[in-house]
Amino acid sequence: MKPSFQEQLAVAAKQLNLEPKRKRKRKKGKKKSTEQYSESEIKELMGMNRRTYGRGRGGAIRQK
């Protein structure tokens, strides 16, 4: 009777002095913080109330 494929791999690994790969342990996920932001705070974080600039004549940067 032939040995199974796993057994053949184990024998080959021993002959080549290789260790079989070990399964990695799964890490537990971190809990997400549940901070609540107001609409005005979100807009401020996104930068909606900032000045806007553009290129004018001759390449000068000017406020729109």
pLDDT recorded at residue 51: 86
Closest C-alpha to 18, from 29, 30, 8, 9: 9
pLDDT at res. 16:
82
pLDDT digits (tens, 9 = 90+) for 5-61: 888 888 888 888 766 667 778 888 788 778 888 999 998 888 888 888 899 888 899
What is the pLDDT confidence band of residue 63, given thresholds at 50, 70 and 90?
confident
Euclidean distance between CA atoms 54 and 52, whole angstroms:
7
For position 23, what pLDDT does the model report? 77
Q: Pairing mode, if any, of strands 53-55 and 61-63?
A: antiparallel
Task: Give me the residue label for tokens 């406020």.
Answer: 63
Q: What does the pLDDT read at residue 20? A: 60
Question: What is the pTM (predicted TM-score) of this model?
Answer: 0.33
> How many whole angstroms separate alpha carbon 43 and alpha carbon 46?
5
